[in-house]
Amino acid sequence: MISPIIHLKERSSLRGLARKNEVAKYKKKRARELQHDKFRDAAGRVFDRVADQLEGKGKAILYGLASAVVLLVIIATGVSLHRKHTNEALQALGRGIDIMARPVSTTPGADPKTPAFGSEQERAQKAIEEFQKVTVKYGDPYKTEARYFIGTNLLYVDRDKAMNELAEVSKASVAEPATLARFALAQAKEADGKYDEAARLYSELAALNSVLVTPETANLRLAAIYEKQGKKNEAAELLFNIVDASRKAKDTDGTPVPPSAEARATTEKLQKLDPDRYAKLTPEAPPAELPF
């Protein structure tokens, strides 16, 4: 899965400045800002919860959700919030995300301060209802984004219907949710053991060169598919290319870029899978000397 590096829970530095006697114009401005913060806070809670759920699990979960949350925050920060229609659309999406952020508990009514759902299916169904309201009332990009969320939540409720919805969204003209839907569909196919179909989708994603689902991310998943299919050479080749490119990467000043944690993990995987191919890697650049 994708692991996007972004602080989704950042608070506006202006919080706490509102006072009872401020002029009406300023109050309206702050109201919009607070609504926006609520949207981002809800997104952050979803990101944290889904990151925990994704780790080490192969069941039907909210595939690709973390990336979609990042996308929604990008949209939220990039639009003009003084436009009433846009602000309402963001709030509507935020309500659905807020539902997805709520916990699941065997005693859902035990803590009234933290509303919970009795099952993942119940929570997903409620979120679907909120996102369906967005598809009815608002146009793109919000409509397609909401359909993406509907598809991922349907994985809890009706898997076949989820697959159809994600497949349709993956062909949409709105590039970002279409890319994420394709990634979610690929992961779902992989989880179902449909490796050929998953491999095709991952290959298509790698060719897109998207910043949301990078070629490295798509190729890592494709390498995992090849391993499951017993295609050791193909898997090793993909891993080799990822690691070798990371070792050759340089910043704008021509200084070698330190390998990421993902690159190091890929290096270890390649070493175990194919030691001979690992031995042919470009030597890792020495760490830069610190100035004194």
178-191 pLDDT per residue, tens? 999 999 999 999 99
What are the structure tokens assigned to 176, written together?
């970002």
34 or 217, which is more confident?
Answer: 217
CA angle 11, 52, 197 (to 5 degrees): 115
- How large is the average pLDDT for residues 198-222? 91
Residue 79: pLDDT band with limits 50, 70, 90? low
Is the pLDDT score of 9 beyond 60? no
What DSSP line would sit under 166-192, residue for residue? Answer: HHHHTTSSSHHHHHHHHHHHHHHHHHT
d(CA 87, CA 81): 5
Q: Which residue has the tokens 């990101």?
A: 47
Question: How far does the chain reach from its first CA to its final CA, in angstroms?
Answer: 40
Is the pLDDT score of 248 beyond 50? yes
User: What pLDDT score does 90 carry?
Assistant: 84
Amino acid present at 194: K
- How large is the average pLDDT for residues 250-275? 84
202 within 8 A of 219, measured Cβ to Cβ = yes
What are the structure tokens assigned to 253, written together?
């000043």
User: What pLDDT score does 265 carry?
Assistant: 84
User: What pLDDT score does 39 carry?
Assistant: 47
Round the average pLDDT of the chain to a whole number and report it.
75
156 within 8 A of 120, measured Cβ to Cβ = yes
Q: DSSP letter for 274, please.
A: -
List Cβ neighbours of 192 (8 Å cut-off, separation of 6 or more).
Answer: none
User: What pLDDT score does 25 carry?
Assistant: 43
d(CA 161, CA 166): 9
The predicted-structure confidence for 155-170, as pLDDT tens digits, reads as follows 999 999 999 999 999 9
107 or 236, which is more confident?
Answer: 236
d(CA 92, CA 142): 9
pTM of the predicted protein model:
0.71
- Determine the number of helices (DSSP H) and then strands (DSSP E) in the chain: 12, 0
User: What pLDDT score does 253 carry?
Assistant: 80
User: What pLDDT score does 76 carry?
Assistant: 54
Is the pLDDT score of 149 beyond 60? yes
Percent of the chain with pLDDT over 70: 67
Among candidate residues 194, 184, 192, the one with its CA nearest the CA of residue 59 = 192
User: What pLDDT score does 285 carry?
Assistant: 72
The predicted-structure confidence for 20-67, as pLDDT tens digits, reads as follows 333 344 334 434 443 444 444 444 444 444 444 444 433 334 444 455
